[in-house]
Amino acid sequence: MPDSHSYLLLLSAIFELLMGLGLLLAPISTLRKVFLPNATPGPDALVAARVAGAGLTSLGMLALMTFDATEPAVLKPVLLTMALYMGLATVNRLLFAASLAANSQGDKAPGKKAAHASAAIHGLLSAGLLYYWWRLL
């Protein structure tokens, strides 16, 4: 049976691969579904979305390729890298929600609940990954 860190890495891989491939293959649809339903992204946003998609796909593949690893020399850098990304994504999503609230009608801001939900998921994954990284020290 896999260790608990394996489940976190596999879950991270699934989320990041889905989002990354979505941003690579259908950036406008993904941006509208995940961020702002009424947004009309310009060419710069499409380029940024595809670059982000490539990065997320790479992180997803890293997590997928190492989710069943058992050697601390392999696991420590992967767990720390994924935890760092998840922590930064948490902060990013919280700042995004705050910006939506500031530029809109407070709680009526479209996308605010999704941003908070995404921040919670990323935060929990970050905490779990950091816990398993710390256990390997």
Residue 99 has pLDDT above 50, yes or no: yes
Of the CA atoms within 13 Å of residue 40, those in its CB half-sphere come to 0
Q: Which residues form the domain of 83?
A: 4-136
Number of domains in the chain: 1
Q: How far is CA 13 from the centre of its chain?
A: 9
Identify which of 127, 137, 87 has the alpha carbon closest to the alpha carbon of residue 4.
127
Query: Residue 7 above 70 pLDDT?
Result: yes
CA 108-29-33 angle, 5° bins? 30
Q: Give this prediction's pTM.
A: 0.89
- Give 26-54 pLDDT, tens digit per residue: 998 998 888 777 778 889 989 999 999 99
What are phi and psi for residue 47, nearest 5 degrees?
A: -65, -45
Query: What integer best gives the mean pLDDT of the chain?
Result: 91
CA–CA gap between residue 58 and residue 55 (Å, rounded): 5
Evaluate if residue 1 carries a pLDDT over 50: no
